[in-house]
Amino acid sequence: MDLVSAQVPAGFPETHPNELTEEFYLNMGPQHPATHGVLRLVVKLDGETVKGVVPHLGYIHRSIEKMAESETYVQNIHLTDRLDYLSCHMNNLCLCMAVEKGANIGVPERGEYIRIMICELQRLQSHLLWWATFGMDLGALTAFLYGFDQREQITDIFEDVCGARLTMNYFRPGGSYCDVPDTFIPRVKAVLEGMEKSLDEYADLVGGNMIIQERCQGIGVLTKEKAISYGCSGPVARAAGVDYDVRRDDPYGIYDRFDFDVPLGKNGDCYDRYTVRIEEMRQSMRILEQCIKEMPSEGPYRSKIKTVIKIPEGHSYANVETARGLFGTYIVSDNKPKPYRLKYRSPNFSNVNIIDEVAKGFKVADLVTVLATLDPVIPDIDR
Amino acid sequence: MGMINQLPKVLDPIPGGKMVVNAVDYLVNWARSNSLWPLVYGTSCCAIEMMATGAAKHDIARFGAEVFRASPRQADVIILAGTLTEKMSKHLEVLYDQMPEPKYVVAMGACTISGGPFYYDNYSVIKGADRIIPVDVFIPGCPPRPEALLYGIMELQKLIRGESIRNPRKPGEVESEPWVNRHQEAVAEWEKEQEAVEEEIAPQRAQWKEDNPDFKAFKHPKKPVEDLEKMEYVPREKRVGAEPFALWNIVHEKFPEVTLHGIEEVTEEALAEKGAEYIPDFVVGTEQYSAFVRFLREHADTDCDYIIQVTAVDFVDRYDVCVHLMSTTKKHKIFVRCSIDHDDPKIDTISHIYLGANWHEREVYDFFGITFNNHPDMRRIFLFDEFDAHPLRKDFDDPSRLTKRPY
Ligand code: SF4
């Protein structure tokens, strides 16, 4: 497609030419640094004002749901890593939970604690990466260096635990595939200590900056009704005032034992999305601290399961709260070792759907801010 | 570089001129190899490791490659970080063509080598980036560690230092043969090799067995599992929101034809037997489908204001369209399913009830070819328009796209 074209591209309503202004269409992506991967946006502009956005998906559609039908449940876990690779532990967990529900497998206490701690660490890690790239999208490179430095410490813990830095493949139905090493708890403590010191500083470094405040406050406002109707979830929805967090409202694992708050935004603008995520990091740290105190130091980390897991005919559904929102796994099984159909509900798919509503009426530069605060991971949308 | 390219012609015949050319070579290569500017190109997971390589700990700046450029016209090297799909490949070609010579390609990750984890049963991933553009350095790994990426860049630098003005570099070939099953080829080759090895060592093996008559093959010691079997599990019995039977009563009053999937006679005991994790799964006819969903949304006690997803399942003789709803206020979930004809799959849209259903329905249309009546924008969402099938149907079996898993 041409960079700037005069015809009405797919997805836009037919418009009647207006004599006073000259509207045109601009193509952004799929290869664009601000789209966090390969999202393609076709933007309708009047001067510099955005009149409409139509996202085009599928540039990284990897047919994971088709592949899922020819792999066993345990083989499928590694594919969930590659959906939302910044919350891959949570994705693993969701598939494992759906299998556990279907095949009626239990998880021992220590296994649950390991799961929760790893998931919360990952949420911290993911939000740190978001914070780093958010600064970069808005032109502040310092945040990138600090954010990655901190993130690297958590990555080291994961490497210690499961051997991988990014695509972990750690959880299994009934627990996790190996126990955490002895160094795990001390290292988590060290990370928490470091984070406690620096998080306020970080929040201030970007969020306290005048320029960034001006570029975020009042920009990209999402109303609560729209957020619910579009099926938004995670920090994006909570910034708009939707009081729903899977961890609290549909507690899985042992999340009901912990004491944590669900931060909410007031205005639903970009700045609220920023503060909600920063606050979520604090809450994750709170959960981690409680975990460290209560985690049993002895005991089995996984339950014994059959080598070949079969789910009786029917379906099972599980959902978790990833760093981006409600991630769901829907398994339709026919009593074979492989799923008959496996559907992932990805939070980003619904979160990016709102971009037209949110960016309309603002400038092109604000579109980049909006995208940065939606924090999409494109392979999770395309699957 | 036009003038420099003429140097060998002019200088080589002159005594000592060769050394001058060599010196110029050295200088040019030194400059080129130490200021590789990569293009910001990352499609998926590997891009995160590429970013990590650029950040403080691994610091790609030590190799002069920290200047990530957003425009291909300013870039020397393109690091193919991530899976390459058919839809993206045309764009990659354009990017490559826009880069000025000399240009280099580093393929990062298993995906760009052969499709990696997405090799089998996959209809959209290109099985190797070298089928699209010539690649100079391949880095294996899924994802490669930052150290591996740095090593790849060092290898590229070595390659560049070997260049000369006398013999300018030409980009490699694009792999043009049709998709082959490299796995089976490799297995066959390995088996053949193994056979030869077996034959070779057969006499020694027989001799060794003769010498050690009381040898038994090694067995892995069995780990004790008793305490694992006796152990206690964390109970998983939590119900949130309304009881399924209460929901059933509300629905049954208004829609008497609606049934529950998998339950013949609905009683309170039958539902209680299903356990605390049971989510009611209503089966509804095509005519009532949209009215039923609207009822679930608007009734004060069901109050399903949130749409989780719309999906479909191909049961060969029929399609089931499944709608998963949730209430953000009352916290319960409700599933709705509607069976439709396999030959002429059509159903009403619910995108006017839930705005978010719009994309979910487009996805179902893309994967299953189910048309939603009155949908405002019924286009493919993931695949390109030339893709002439609906891949998640059970009968989708296009040998030009799918490589079947041999095991
Ligand atoms: S090689 Fe692995 S990590 Fe890299 S893009 Fe492919 S699947 Fe993702």
- Alpha-carbon distance of A250 to A246, in angstroms, equals 5
- Alpha-carbon distance of A121 to A89, in angstroms, equals 10
DSSP states along B8-36: HHHHTTSTTHHHHHHHHHHHHHHHHHT--
Chain A residues lying within 8 Å of B142, measured CB to CB: 167
Residue nearest to atom 2 of ligand 1 (CA): B142
Rg (CA), chain A: 21
- Alpha-carbon distance of B142 to A169, in angstroms, equals 12
pLDDT score of B320? 87
Do A304 and B324 count as a contact with CB atoms less than 8 A apart? no
- Alpha-carbon distance of B181 to B184, in angstroms, equals 6
Partnered with residue A175 across adjacent β-strands are A172
- Alpha-carbon distance of A373 to A365, in angstroms, equals 13
Helix, strand, coil % over all residues of chain B, rounded to 5: 40, 15, 45
Cβ(A88)–Cβ(A321) below 8 Å: no
Give me B106's structure tokens.
């580093």
pLDDT score of A1? 45
- Alpha-carbon distance of B250 to B292, in angstroms, equals 12
- Whether B115 lines ligand 1, by a CB cut-off of 6 Å, is no
Share of chain B above pLDDT 70, in %: 91
CA distances from B167 to A238, B5, B106, B161 (A): 61, 10, 22, 13
**Range ranked top by mean pLDDT from A215-224, B198-207, B219-228:** B198-207
Q: Tell me which residue in B232, B356, B367 faces A353 most closely, judged by beta carbons.
A: B356
- Nearest CA among A23, A54, A59, A22 for reference residue A41: A54
Please tell me the distance in Å from A185's CA to the nearest CA on chain B: 22
Ligand 1 pocket, mutate which of B41, B43, B45 (most atoms under 8 A from CB): B45
Helix (H, G, I), strand (E, B) or coil at A220: coil
In this structure, the number of other CB atoms found within 10 A of the CB of residue B252 comes to: 15
CA distances from A208 to A278, A280, A282 (A): 12, 18, 17
| Mean pLDDT, chain A, integer | 85
- Whether B270 lines ligand 1, by a CB cut-off of 6 Å, is no
- Alpha-carbon distance of B403 to B317, in angstroms, equals 26
Helix (H, G, I), strand (E, B) or coil at B288: coil
Ligand 1 pocket, mutate which of B41, B44, B84, B118 (most atoms under 8 A from CB): B44
Q: Which tops the pLDDT comparison, A93 or B56?
A: A93
Q: Does A194 touch chain B (CB under 8 A)?
A: no
Which helix (H) or strand (E) is B53 found in, with range? helix B45-54
Fold assignment, B244-373: Beta Polymerase; domain 2 (3.30.460)
Cβ(B334)–Cβ(B304) below 8 Å: yes
Residues counted in chain B: 407
CA of B84 to the centre of ligand 1 (A): 10
Chain A residues lying within 8 Å of B44, measured CB to CB: 37, 60, 62, 82, 85, 378-379
- Alpha-carbon distance of A370 to A365, in angstroms, equals 9
Is omega for the bond preceding B235 within 30 degrees of 0, making it cis?
no
CA of B403 to the centre of ligand 1 (A): 19
Partnered with residue B319 across adjacent β-strands are B314, B340
Q: What are phi and psi of B153, to 5 degrees?
A: -70, -35
- Whether B8 lines ligand 1, by a CB cut-off of 6 Å, is no
Cβ(A44)–Cβ(A4) below 8 Å: no
CA of A4 to the centre of ligand 1 (A): 33
Residues counted in chain A: 383
Do B88 and A60 count as a contact with CB atoms less than 8 A apart? yes
Do B122 and A86 count as a contact with CB atoms less than 8 A apart? no
Domain boundaries, chain A: 1-60, 64-380
Partnered with residue A50 across adjacent β-strands are A45
Residue B226: band (very low, low, confident or very high) from pLDDT cuts 50, 70, 90? very low
Do A66 and B123 count as a contact with CB atoms less than 8 A apart? yes
**Which ranges constitute the DSSP H helices of chain A?**
64-68, 73-81, 88-103, 109-137, 141-162, 184-207, 210-216, 224-230, 234-239, 246-249, 270-294, 347-353, 355-359, 364-374, 378-382
Q: Tell me which residue in A85, A112, A378 faces B234 most closely, judged by beta carbons.
A: A112
Q: Tell me which residue in A66, A228, A251 faces B305 most closely, judged by beta carbons.
A: A228
| Mean pLDDT, chain B, integer | 82
Say how many Å lie between the first and final Cα of chain A, rounded: 24
- CATH number of this structure's domain A64-380: 1.10.645.10
Nearest CA in chain A to B237: A252
DSSP states along A286-330: HHHHHHHHH--SSS-SS----SS----SEEEEEEEEETTEEEEEE
Share of chain A above pLDDT 90, in %: 2
Q: Tell me which residue in A58, A67, A243 faces B121 most closely, judged by beta carbons.
A: A67
Atom nearest to B82 CA in ligand 1: 5
ipTM of predicted complex: 0.89
pLDDT score of B231? 64
Do A226 and B229 count as a contact with CB atoms less than 8 A apart? no
In this structure, the number of other CB atoms found within 10 A of the CB of residue B205 comes to: 11
DSSP state of A363: B
Partnered with residue A6 across adjacent β-strands are none
Do A62 and B47 count as a contact with CB atoms less than 8 A apart? no
Residue B197: band (very low, low, confident or very high) from pLDDT cuts 50, 70, 90? very high
- Alpha-carbon distance of B394 to B316, in angstroms, equals 7
Domain boundaries, chain B: 2-161, 244-373
Q: Has residue B352 got a pLDDT over 70?
A: yes
- Alpha-carbon distance of A323 to A321, in angstroms, equals 7
pLDDT score of A309? 83
Q: What are phi and psi of A49, to 5 degrees?
A: -90, 135
Cβ(A32)–Cβ(B43) below 8 Å: no
Amino acid at site A128? L
- Nearest CA among B333, B177, B311, B162 for reference residue B247: B333
Helix (H, G, I), strand (E, B) or coil at B320: strand
- Alpha-carbon distance of B240 to B245, in angstroms, equals 14
Helix (H, G, I), strand (E, B) or coil at B167: coil
Give me B339's structure tokens.
């069976």
- Alpha-carbon distance of B145 to B307, in angstroms, equals 39
Amino acid at site A42? V
Cβ(A139)–Cβ(A133) below 8 Å: no
Q: Has residue B1 got a pLDDT over 60?
A: no
Average pLDDT score over residue span B86-92: 86
pLDDT score of B225? 46
- Alpha-carbon distance of B320 to B314, in angstroms, equals 7
Q: Which of A42, A61, A233 to mutate to test the interface with B (most CBs of B within 10 A)?
A: A61
Ligand 1 pocket, mutate which of A59, A167, A168 (most atoms under 8 A from CB): A167
Residue B192: band (very low, low, confident or very high) from pLDDT cuts 50, 70, 90? very high
Chain A residues lying within 8 Å of B70, measured CB to CB: 32-33
Please tell me the distance in Å from A21's CA to the nearest CA on chain B: 27
pLDDT score of B237? 66
Chain A residues lying within 8 Å of B309, measured CB to CB: 231, 328, 330, 343, 345
> Under 8 Å CB-to-CB from B61, ≥6 apart: which residues?
none
Average pLDDT score over residue span B10-31: 81
Q: What is the domain class of B2-161 according to CATH? A: alpha beta
List all residues of chain A from 265 to 284 with a beta carbon under 8 Å from chain B.
none
| Beta strand B38-39 pairing with B77-81 | parallel
Residue nearest to atom 6 of ligand 1 (CA): B111
Chain B residues lying within 8 Å of A166, measured CB to CB: 45, 48-49, 143
What pTM was estimated for this model as a whole?
0.86
Q: Tell me which residue in B57, B229, B382 faces A61 most closely, judged by beta carbons.
A: B382
The segments of chain A whose pLDDT lies below 50 read 1-5
- Alpha-carbon distance of B310 to B316, in angstroms, equals 19
Do B311 and A330 count as a contact with CB atoms less than 8 A apart? yes
Amino acid at site B213? P
DSSP state of B144: P
| Sign, CA torsion A102/A105/A111/A113 | positive
Cβ(B266)–Cβ(B246) below 8 Å: no
